[in-house]
Amino acid sequence: MQHYCINKWGSNFFEDYRKIRYVSTMKDSLALEKALSRLKKAHLKVTPIRKSLLNFLLKHHGPFPIEEIHKKTLGDRVTIYRTLDSLERAGLIHKVFFGDNIVRYEYHDPDFHHHHVICRSCDKVDEVDLCPLDFLEKQLQKMGYSQVEHSVSFFAVCPNCQSG
């Protein structure tokens, strides 16, 4: 597994990560309550580490590598890995891959589907709300497939890097 490279991403990458508009109109506390309700429906206990991870992913709206999650939440690395695994199996979070061998995690809101665009120059990540692929998912379900999901990442040069 490739380790997090601070030089590639810059020391302030996650602090500088642009706050993206979040389609959901719920306040953070309501979003956390919804997430905890989903956790209980998945027959998982609400533990301090699970609550901490969900709260972090809800507040910061972005895909984060395990190293950043470890710095900003409770628990040791092994506990965080196990907790992320259980949250992923329950459908509350999902892994995001940008083709750089770094696994990132973000909260999965079933009411808000999006993709990502990553700048090739500065590695800035933005969310793309529009998804024409939902139609294809429905077609696959009609064909008998279940648990159909998709993930798309676009790679481009952002407007700031184009002008600079």
Q: Which domains does the chain have, with CATH numbers?
A: 1-110 (1.10.10.10), 113-164 (3.30.1490.190)
Which contacts (CB < 8 Å, 24+ apart) does range 98-102 have? 98/63, 98/125, 98/153, 99/153, 99/155, 100/2, 101/1, 101/2, 102/2, 102/4, 102/65
Query: What pLDDT does 59 receive?
Result: 85
pTM over 0.75: no
Q: How confident is the model over 54-82, as pLDDT tens digits? A: 999 988 877 899 999 999 888 899 999 99
- Phi/psi-derived region of residue 154, left when phi > 0, alpha when psi is between -120 and 50, beta in every other case: beta
**Per mean pLDDT, which of 83-97, 124-138, 147-161 is the most reliable?**
83-97
pLDDT at 26 over 50: no
Distance CA 145, CA 15 (A): 40
